[in-house]
Every structure is written in C-alpha cells, then in structure tokens.
Structure 1
Amino acid sequence: MLLSTQTVIHEALHKLGFQDDMFELLKEPLRLLKVRFPVRMDDGSVKIFTGYRSQHNDSVGPTKGGVRFHPEVDENEVNALSIWMSLKCGITDLPFGGGKGGINCDPRSMSLRELERLSRGYVRAISQIVGPSKDIPAPDVYTNSQIMAWMMDEYSRLREFDSPAFITGKPIVLGGSQGRETATARGVAIIIEEAAKKKGIDLQGARVVIQGFGNAGSYLAKFMHDAGAKVIGVSDVYGAIADPNGLDIDYLIERRDSFGAFSKLFTNTITNKELLELDCDILVPAAIANQITVHNALDIKASIVVEAANGPTTIEATKLLTERGVFLVPDILSNAGGVTVSYFEWVQNNQGYYWTEEEVDQKLQKIMVDAFDNIYRVSKTYKVDMRLAAYMIGIRKLAEASTFRGWI
C-alpha cells in the first residue's frame, strides 16, 4: 500500500517539475507515534493494545484524519493512509495536512465498556501530539460518533477545558456537524453524478453495484436508490446478494447489524468476486483495499468505477481499466466528502456557530464538484488518468507550502 502510493507521488511530482528532494520529504510521514497501553477487560484481565498516530505533513496547517479499530492496523497502513489524507485535503483545498491513527484490535469481539476503556486509553497515550491546532482525529473503520465522544471527553479531562474542536464526527449534542454521518457517502454520490455526466449515463435506471455495506456503502446505496438508480448488487464481509431488477435497499438497511452485515439473512448469496464482475453501469468498491487487481481487472464490466474505499484498485489494475476505456475515479477524490464535512465541523466548533444540514450539503456539493472538475481538467491537459491527475493536484499544495517555508 505505501510503496504503490509513493510510486504515484513520485510520478506526480515529476510531472509538476519538482526535484527528488521534494519526493524525499513527502514520501513518508514527518512523524509516527507508536503506543502500547493497557486496558482492563470485563473479565478482570488486563490486555495490552498497540496503537499508532501518523502525521504526514503539517506545512499547510494541522494534520487531520481518522482513527480505525481493526485487527490489521499496522505502521505501513497508517503511514499510507495519512499520505492519502494529505492528498484529499490538497484536492479539496482544505487547510490541513494528512493524519491517520488506529488500534490493532477486533472491536466486534469487545463490549461497549471495553471499547470505552480502549478509546480513552488511546487518547491518553497520544495526547501530547494531538489537539485542535495540532492534529484532529475523526471516525474511520469500526469507529463512530460514540467513540469520538469518549475520546473528546477524555481529552477535555486531560486538558481541563472543554475541547470540541479536538475531534470531529461527534454526536450533534456534543458539537457534531449536521450531515457528518452521511458525508462520505454523499460525497461519493456527487462524484458518481459528475462521472455519469462525462460518460453520458443517465442515473435514472442506471445499474449500480456497491461492494461493502458499512457507513459509506449503505448510505450510498440509499442515495443511489432515491436518485432512481437500480442497485443490483451489494455485499458485506461474509458475502453478496444480487438482483438484476434492483434490491430493496430500505429492507437491507433496516435488517443489517451494527457492522453492516446482512448476507446471513439470505441463502442465495454470491461471492465478492462475482459481485465485482456483475454486468453494471457503475461499480463502487466501498469495502477494503486491493479488490480490483490484474487478476480480475479484465473481468470488470462496469463503464464507471468510483472508489469509495481506500485503495481498492491496484496501480496495475488502474492501467488495465483505463486502457479499456473504463472511467475510474480515485478514492482520494471520491471519498473526500468525509474529511470535507469534518473540516466544516472543526470550523463550527472553533467559531461556536452551527450550520443547517442544507448549508452543509450545499457547501459540500460545491467543493466536491470543483475538485472533480479540476482533476478532470488536469487529466485531459496532461493526458494522464484520473488517479495521477488527482495526485498531481493533491501533492502540489504540500510541495508549494514546503518550498515557501524553506523546508526544501
């Protein structure tokens, strides 16, 4: 994951005319904190957890990025994800560098009390390098507004003053923003609409396949269904279901569990591989990384692939899809709605004035459409794919800020 990201960054900087010393600065985070901390489990035992906080580059402002609870969290992952956050902030012109954190754990096997102690322990461990003007965490994989609330409360206790701007993705009553919970999915929906226009596809009746049914995938399925598209396939971690006539999205949302799983309710499931290869107009990988590779890229039948997950398509697969005329919109653009509305939340917390959901959606619409148009224009001007064009725009802001600061 990190190596492939560095490869594209190097190519983007070269296209922009920057020398290798800039690549050496930006190819890895400026700092990475690894922490180990104890958590008292419900059975009375003490378990030691390992957590991370990566801060890629703070030349344009404080770093910003989510915290994920997942058994596969490691240094390589959080480093790569913090770089992607920098690129997303550059694409959307936000005053942040990228950050990312995580704890190596399986939250699905933990009680609410254990999750609360885990969340508070993590904040205590990283408290010296985070804060409203240093590094602002947010929700990510298997974390939510409740976990953000616990983290904010712990940070406020440590600092001995109320600090809502320390973290975003909070409940509304604790300073959260309207529209934050659906922000990532709404951003993807906006990008799908723009991509469909470029390909001449009418969303009304368009066949959509979504891999993943967590926060982003489920809300996106609802948005697509409400827009008149036919969501013909969706999946969770255990399997997938498909119907060429369209699925009952409201039923699936109502019956899924807290981790987005629903497939165990059905007997006629298909595999995730089969889901990706369904005949459709728009394919949205919204689950995990490395789902479209050289092994299945030639079997993808969609005209448009919009990456809602982080890193679902490999570099090699991107080239194969582009050569076949598939319009691929990269993750650092299409799922940037989350960090954009997190920025809105941070602004509202700092000024103590809160916007309506309509205002949030309107501002998000403008930022996402402008970002799409800029990347599409660079793609055509430089004759490169959308991923490289996105990296060029995303990395330029960091490179220019680092130059003005005299770092290079």
Structure 2
Amino acid sequence: MNNRPSSHSRRRRLTAGLLAAALLITHLAGCGGGVDSGGTGIIASGPISGLGSIFVNDVRFDDDSAEIRDEQGALLTKDQLKLGMTVIVEGGTLDTSGTQATSTALAIRVVSDLVGPVASVDAVGGSFVVLGQTVIVGARTLYDGSLTGGFSALVPGMTVQVYSQYDPLTRQYAATRVEQLPDASFYKIRGVVAARDPQAPSLTLGSEVIGVGSVAGNAVPPADIGDFLSVRLLPDNAQLAATSVRTADLMLADHPVARVEGTVTEIVSSRSFKVNGIAVDAVGAHFDGDEAKVVLGARVGVFGATLAGTLVAARVIVHDDSVPAIASFALVGAVQELDAAARSFRIRNTPVVFDDGTTFSGGVAADLADGRRATVTGVPSLDGTRIVATQVTFGTP
C-alpha cells in the first residue's frame, strides 16, 4: 500500500520552520551536542527578546553553563548570542514561583534562515531579496552594528545573514535580525520547493533554481512541491549548486513543558496544525483570541508538553499579526563603555541609548557607571541598530 500523500495534499504541506532542519533531534545528537533532559525540563523556540541570561518566549534562561552551538554544530560563546536571533532552548525545570518564569538552559541552538547576497532592495515596501527569497522588515527588526543606518545600509551584492519567522502563506521571511556576513564560507536557504526538475536535477526555492546534482542521491530527501527544505550552497557561483539538502521536519524530545512561538505552517483544522514544522494537538487547548484566525500563516504561541514528537497544547495564543512583534527587549548586566555626553552605553555587547523619556529606578542617569549592574527595558532605535531604553533599573552597586 502506498502511504505517500497525494500531490494535492503534499502541495498543502508547507512544513516551514524558522528552526527546522538543523534542529532535528538526531542532528543534535550527531553534532555531539545533544542534550537529554530526561523529560524533566522545558523546551522553547523563538527569537531572543532579552540578554543576560537569555529571554525566549517569556522565560528567562540562565545560560552560564549552557552548551551553545550553531546549526553546523560549531560551539559558540554566550557573548555571541544577540537580540533577535532565533533559537531553540532545552532547559531544566521551569520555575514560575516569581514574577518572571525562569529555567537553566542546558542546550541552545542558534539557527538563521538565509545566508547570501542581497539581490535587490525595496525601500518603499520595506523588503529585500536574498537568493530568490523575499525578506520583510518592521519596527522590531534588529540590525548588526556594522549596518549603520539599518535597512538603509543594505545594498545589492552585500552578503547578509537573516534570522526570521517564515510565513508559508506569502512565502516571505519576517526578519527579526539582519547581520552583514562578508566572509561567509557558504550560502543557505530554508525555503519551500516551488518547482522541481528530476532530469536536471534541480529544485526551485522562491525564484531561485538550485542544482542538486553534486549532492549524493541518497543525501537528497524525496522532495515535492510545497515541501520545506534546508539547502546549503557554495558561495560565489553563478549557477547555485547545493552541497547538502535536508528536510525541515522537526521532532522534539519529550518535555513536560514546551513553549513555541511561530507561524502555522501546515493545517488540518484549528485543533490540528503545525507551528514552525512542529506538530500541535490542540484538541483540549484553551484559545486566547479568535480560534477562527488559526489559519495557514497565522502567528501563534503554543504552551503545552511534547510527547512522541507532538506538542500537546494546553493553551494557544492567537496573535492578530503575522510579523513577530516583540513588545520590548530586555538587557541585564554590567554597564560597559558609558558615554555620558552621548547618552549611550552597552550591556552584554548590545548598544543602548537613553533620552529624556527614559525612566530610572533605584537611581538616576548620573548614577550610570561602567561596571554598574542594571536592567534595561527598551525598543529598537529607528534604524534598528541600538536599543532605546524606556526604563533603567539599577542593581546593587
């Protein structure tokens, strides 16, 4: 009996995910960095909304002893974690006894969606194209400091790395962070297969045709139109050629607590769907918001537990917009590089500015000093390269 879905159903399988391919549990183990929490902790995925530790989906994770890797398995330091990066975190027991939910991060995986040259920029529409994929930006998109001016600094030919949430309805990437990456050793795309040519052989993702003939046949997963794949490419090649092709389906280990923020990437009904490629069973869930708005491409937050690869939802939060809209960002740590005249400083290597609208608690602006611990809450500057502090709360001097 052939259990392969029909071509029609497979076209509906837009199994996208901002964290998908590189975060397969088998891949984590294969990288030598897999963490088995023994089913006693939390798993969370989404963009980093705070540093010092890291904040993901309203949970503060102590990252002092976490194993941090990128999707290729390379070790990273916690100083390389940046606001807006998309991650998956496996942590210990979740503590909700205080005003802030906390856990200890055991493993953190950092995954971007696109690496490649900018092909074009639409200044009016607020978007740009990388390797045939359209990236949209917004007021909460953050930019690396090397992109002075943020979005306006993007020019055709510049190589960038994009962290985002993928919208399978529009097949666009809503950027949470954009970085310049001039020395990229490879390009990559996580995208939906728009066309395939078995004879070439090639796959089309977005508007980009990618040759897969140089990849060993058994290393290319069966792909159909509508499937979401992670493809790694050789840079600086007029005819893009893949060096690896992987599926983007994601299986999570069993965790009694799971929090996932993302877009609906496949849907059977409002009670059975996928978020970021993660299967969700919401039969017994409580919905915050209009359940009727749980459609392909909708942005949702899902709280529950993972069991046998499925997130069994207890609560589904339905957001009104499809673009990630982090209300504010948080930074906790010691003040660095204070410039009182410029009203600027850094915390956790993140540039911060303050102005007359900034509220200070436990002190005043004059109490800012290098080494002084503080908690900063703020929003991105107009160009997205700094955090404008709305509140600064001093810690113990």
The verdict on a shared fold, with TM-score over 0.5 as the criterion, is no
Bin the TM-score by the shorter chain.
under 0.3
- The two structures have a TM-score, normalised by structure 2, of 0.27
Choose between structure 1 and 2: higher helix proportion: 1
